[in-house]
Structures are given as C-alpha cells and as structure tokens.
Amino acid sequence: MIAEIRKAGPDVIALQGFDFDLENTALEAFAVALEAQGQSYPYFFAAPPNAGLQTDLDLDGDNQLGGPGDAQGYGRFFGQGSMAIMSRYPVLTAEVEDHSQLLWRKLPNALLPEMAGKPFPSEEALEVQRLSSHGHWIVPILHPVFGRVSILTYHATPPVFDRAEDRNGKRNHDETAFWVHYLNGSFGGPPDGQFLLVGDANLDPQGGDGRGQIMATLLSHPMLQDPLPDLETVMWQQTGPLRVDYVLPSSDWKVIDAGVMPINPAASRHALVWVDVTR
C-alpha cells in the first residue's frame, strides 16, 4: 500500500479498510512509515465507526447474539476495516459532520429488510439499526490555495452474504442513497464550498449483485462530475472486474487528470483511484 501511495503522491488520502483504535496508534504508525518514504501527512482524522460496535440484539437474523453481524456494522472487533483521512493540510476537526449514528429507518424512502411481510430480523432490531456499516463523514480541510475543501467519504457494506430478505443489498443501496439525499439538501447538506465524494461504495452501476441504479443516480447528480467512467477498480473471482471505488469531484472543480492504478494483490484487492483537480 505504501508503494502505491508513494507513486500517486496525493495531497489527501481516504483510506478504506483501515482498522480503528481509540488512540489512532495504527494511523500514527502508518503516517510514520509514509514519512520514511518521503510522503508527509501530518494531519489525519478517524472517528469511532459502526464496524464491530456490538449491540445486545440479533441484528443479522441468525438467532444468536454477540456475533460480528450483531454489531452496528459487521466486525469481529470494534473498528475492524474502518476508514481514515490523511492530509498534507490541516483538518478542521471541530467542523467535521459525522452522520454515522443516523438510524437506517430515518433515511427517506429507506429499503428496510422484510421477510414474509414482517420487519427483518425484528422490529426491535430496526429500532436501533444504524444506516452506516462504517460511517458517513464530511471532513473539511483547509487548503492554502483553495481554502475550505470538504471530503465526503463512506465505506458501504458488500451487497451480498445474506438471504432472501436482501438485508445487505438494501443497506448497501441506502448507504449510497444517503449521499443523494445529502446533496439534495437533507441532513444539513450540501457542504459549503468545493468538495470531493470518495470511498468504497461496494457497488457497480451496471454489474455485480448490488442495486446499481442508485450508483448511476449518484454519478449523474448535477453537483458531481465523474472523471473515470466505466473504469474497473476491483477484481473478484466471483464476479470479475467491477467498479466499486470512486473519487467524484464537485462540479465546480476543473479536473486536470485522473486514473486508476494497477491492482497490487499484495496490498489490496482494490485499486488506488486518484483525481487531480484545480479551480
């Protein structure tokens, strides 16, 4: 991973699948390792995620308690495979918007799972179930030339590993649908100034097992631009190549260049996606 970041040399990185710890020890160690390779990221942000945040209910419908699927987001321990932001420029931590505690049922037109016409796995579970499997963040960064730039990021659950109720597929859909609602003015959005929406949607607009229409809707939103249409970012044995990772600048940026780096299986199944923008 360090080699890929060094080659791309981004000013801001949205890390996906990075374990969270309360003191950011792992993130600080990663910053030190990057510094040793000539990549300085003195500023970073990570917040407590939903991954591995255990509840006392059966959230996944397996009739057991305390498993990784009974956490607010799948996780064998708290913070497994979460997110982080690393930046060359100051992160305005006090102004971060964290929507990770939003209840799934509070999303407009939420696709809540059902089985035989009843809430799945139970009404009690859906009373506490959060939308974000990891998080939905709006992280403002103070750029020396562009001023305030916001990074909108999330890491959605895979739309598979479930049954006929399609709990994961519906949740995956709604985690992306959140951004459509946010950009349309719900939940306090859209952000002030220029922004970039980045993250692992685990959703291809055309292929795979997910409900891709919502990804197509987001990609066509008038507040966004898509500099890398139809370029795959992951290779899975079950599905072949898919596009599931995105860097989408707001429409008021000028895109200088963009690309998807070759996948390095030793680092990740996902490719590093980058976009170079200016005003």
What pLDDT, in 10s, does the model give residues 192-242?
A: 899 999 999 999 999 999 999 999 999 999 999 999 998 999 988 788 899
Q: What is the band of 265 on the pLDDT scale with cuts at 50, 70, 90?
A: confident
Pairing of strands 194-200, 245-249: antiparallel
**Residues 153, 139: Cα–Cα separation, whole Å:** 8
Predicted confidence at residue 196, as pLDDT, reads 98
**Residues 147, 194: Cα–Cα separation, whole Å:** 9
Write out the chain in H/E/C secondary structure. Answer: CHHHHHHHCCCEEEEEEECCCCCCHHHHHHHHHHHHCCCCCCEEECCCCCECCECCCCCCCCCCCCCHHHECECCCCCCCCEEEEEECCCECHHHCEECCCCEHHHCCCCCCCEECCEECCCHHHHHHCECCCCCEEEEEEEECCCEEEEEEEEECCCCCCCCCCCHHHHHHHHHHHHHHHHHCCHHHCCCCCEEEEEEECCCCCCCCCCCCHHHHHHHCCCCECCCCCCCCCEEECCCEEECCEEEEEECCCEEEEEEECCCCCCCCCECCEEEEEEC
What pLDDT, in 10s, does the model give residues 19-35?
A: 999 999 999 999 999 99
Our count of domains for the chain comes to: 1
Q: What is the band of 173 on the pLDDT scale with cuts at 50, 70, 90?
A: very high
Predicted confidence at residue 89, as pLDDT, reads 98
Kindly state the tokens that stand for 152: 């909108």
**Residues 125, 114: Cα–Cα separation, whole Å:** 12
Residue among 251, 250, 26 at smallest CA distance from 151: 250
Predicted confidence at residue 239, as pLDDT, reads 82
Predicted confidence at residue 267, as pLDDT, reads 84
Question: Any idea how long the chain is?
Answer: 279
Average pLDDT score, the chain: 96
pLDDT at 258 over 90: yes
pTM of the model: 0.96
Residue with tokens 């309360």: 22
pLDDT at 175 over 90: yes
Q: What is the band of 254 on the pLDDT scale with cuts at 50, 70, 90?
A: very high
Residue among 271, 212, 268 at smallest CA distance from 241: 271
Q: Are 18 and 85 in contact (CB under 8 A)?
A: no
pLDDT at 256 over 90: yes
Q: What domain range is 243 assigned to?
A: 2-278
**Residues 170, 110: Cα–Cα separation, whole Å:** 8
Q: What's the CATH number where 29 sits? A: 3.60.10.10
pLDDT at 268 over 90: no
Predicted confidence at residue 189, as pLDDT, reads 83
**Residues 87, 13: Cα–Cα separation, whole Å:** 6
